Amino acid sequence: MKMKLVIGFMLLAGITLSSCKKQYTCVCTGQNEFVDYEGTTVIQATPKNAESTCKAQEGTAQAGVQTTCALAD
pLDDT at residue 60, rounded to an integer: 75
pLDDT at residue 50, rounded to an integer: 93
Q: Are 29 and 67 contacting, i.e. CB atoms less than 8 angstroms apart? A: yes
CA distance 37 to 32: 9
Q: Where are the beta strands (DSSP E) in the chain?
A: 22-31, 36-45, 59-60, 66-71
pLDDT at residue 5, rounded to an integer: 58
pLDDT at residue 11, rounded to an integer: 57
| Angle at alpha carbon of residue 20, lines to 69 and 54, rounded to 5° | 10
59: left (phi over 0), alpha (psi -120 to 50) or beta: left
pLDDT in tens, 8-50: 555 555 555 555 789 999 999 998 888 788 889 999 998 889 9
Query: Residue 52: pLDDT band by 50, 70, 90 thresholds?
Result: very high
CA distance 41 to 54: 8
